[in-house]
Amino acid sequence: MKMTAENIINRCEELHDDLHFNYVKQWKEANDAKAIGFMPVYVPRELIHAAGMLPVGIMGGGDNMEIIRGDAFFQSYICRIPRSTIELGLTGRLDDLDGLLFPAICDVIRNLSGMWQMMFEGKYIKYLDVPQNFGEQGRAFYSAELADMAKAFERISGNKITDDSLNTSIALYNENRRLIAELYDLRAEAPHKVLTSDLFLLMRASNILEVTEHSQMLRDYMVSIRNSDRPIRDHVRVVVTGAFCEQPPLSLVRAMENSGCFIVDDDWVLGNRYHLDPIDVGDRPMAALIEAYLGKTVATASRYEEGDDKGMYLVNQVRDRNAEGVIFASASFCDPALLDRPMIQDVLTRENIPYTAFKYAENTGQIQVIKEQTGTFADSIKLWGVQ
């Protein structure tokens, strides 16, 4: 069957909506292999893959899942992703995962790892404490963290992680990152063709699909979309930031786009784009993974920034993508995003870049209000431009 953009996106939406993770179940059966889940933002998926397992990104339950028991575990002032993740766990939807990784991103996800230890005994649960010291000291610590994780992956999978298997996995993920970068470039070049809702769904599909399948999907989509004749629209170009963990509902992504904004860069499913350069394939693949984490990556709120460059990553994104403004879209009660926001807003003000800000939850129903806000923001840019 010819893979058109439309049927690729339909497939992605099916995967996005399937909170029973049937793909994972089928993949495990077909490959007689295991699967390891991970929470946002970043884990070295290559290491899971090199053990012959399927890395599965868990990003909450979205707006399609009713929370029945999960709310009883959290106070009203805690964000939504941990409660829907607990709901997924309690309803058996994560039973096909043979382990779950909780990378260090904030105190809520950190404490969720402890809750998981108490609630789901017997599963492999790992709090991945990534170093915030990116020098020699952090290198030694992260090496030990990865060695510990690799040993666990070998035990769970029954497969040895060799230099060859790790190099193969790194190469596959490098190619995936290259294709994703190409997709982002294509959207920035022709945002009327590469709808952001399409891109969002393609990125979410990467959480589930085996990497080679996802890479092929990206290739097919780009071939199809380049040949499409979607109409040019008079939208303003904006960068969306702050949505790196709990994801906005698809309806909200569509609403922002339909309000008159071409989203030309963003930070959702950020683990896909964490490394800015390809990871070295060679004699020391484990060391290469470590260097990739310590070295050139995106700037995001969960990663400590000691220098004076705070906010400049976003400014450069705006400049590189010829964007005209920034939308801060942060999950309610998201400490990292909301604590980062005033610092970055100060930098945008200094750089004369307009912005607007709102909060959402993964099950936000008040789409119209946000649509009006982003629409007004787009109109103001069109009318008055950058002051």
Partner 1 sequence: MNIQVDIQKEDSMLIQKQMIAGHFEKLSKAKENNKKVVYTFVPGNLNELIRAFDMLPVHPEVNALQSGMRKMSGGYIQEAEKTGHSEDVCTYVKCDIGMMKKGNIGPTGLPLPKPDLLLLSYTGCFTFLKWFELLKQEYDCPIVMLQAPYQAEGEITPEMRDYVTKQLEEVVVPALEDVSGKKLDRDRLKELLESSARAEELLVDIWNSAKNKPSPIDAYFGGVFYIGPIFTAFRGLPECEDYYRILKAEVDYRVANKLGPVTPEGELNQQKYRIVIEGPPNWTSFRDFWKIFADEGVVMVASTYTKVGGLYENGFRHDPQRPLESLGEYCLGCYTNHSLPARVEILQNYIEDFEADGFLINSIKSCNSFSAGQLLMMREIEKKTGRAGGFIESDLVDPRYFSAANIKNRLESYFQMIEAKRVGA
- Residues in the site for partner 1, rule: CB under 8 A? 72-75, 77-78, 82, 104-108, 110-115, 117-119, 126-127, 129, 131-133, 135-138, 140-141, 144-145, 301, 304-306, 310, 330, 332-336, 338-343, 345-346, 359
Mapping DSSP to helix (H, G, I), strand (E, B) and coil, where does residue 183 land?
Answer: helix
Contacts of 176 (CB under 8 A, 6+ apart): 206, 211, 214, 215, 218, 272
Nearer to partner 1 by Cβ, of 242 and 260: the residue is 242
Taking alpha carbons only, the member of 81, 12, 70, 14 closest to residue 41 is 81
Residue nearer to partner 1 on the CB measure, 52 or 103: 103
Pick the closer one to partner 1 by CB: 21 or 127.
127
Q: Which is nearer to partner 1, 62 or 82 (CB)?
A: 82
* Rounded CA separation 198/92 (Å): 29
Instruction: Give yes or no for a contact between 362 and 62, defined as CB atoms under 8 angstroms apart.
Output: yes
> Does residue 163 come out as left (phi exceeding 0), alpha (psi in the -120 to 50 range) or beta?
alpha
Q: Which is nearer to partner 1, 72 or 223 (CB)?
A: 72
Q: Which two tokens stand for residue 236?
A: 């303003």
CB 215 within 8 A of CB 179: yes
Measured from the CB atom, is 135 or 231 closer to partner 1?
A: 135
In terms of DSSP H, where are the helices of 130-162? 136-157
Q: Over the Cα atoms of the chain, what is R_g?
A: 20
* Least distance from partner 1 to the Cβ atom of residue 242, Å: 11
Bridge partner residues of 325 (DSSP): 238
Minimal CA–CA distance to 143: which of 289, 297, 295, 304? 289
For the record, the structure tokens of 338 come out as 């909301």
Which of 17/309 has CB closer to partner 1? Answer: 309
Q: Which residues 6+ apart lie within 8 Å of 366 measured at CB?
A: none
- For partner 1, the closer of residues 191 and 311 by Cβ is 311
- What is the Cα–Cα distance from 71 to 1, expressed in whole angstroms? 44
Q: Where is 115: in which H helix or E strand?
A: helix 107-119
Name the packing angle between helices 136-157 and 285-294 (round to 10°): 130
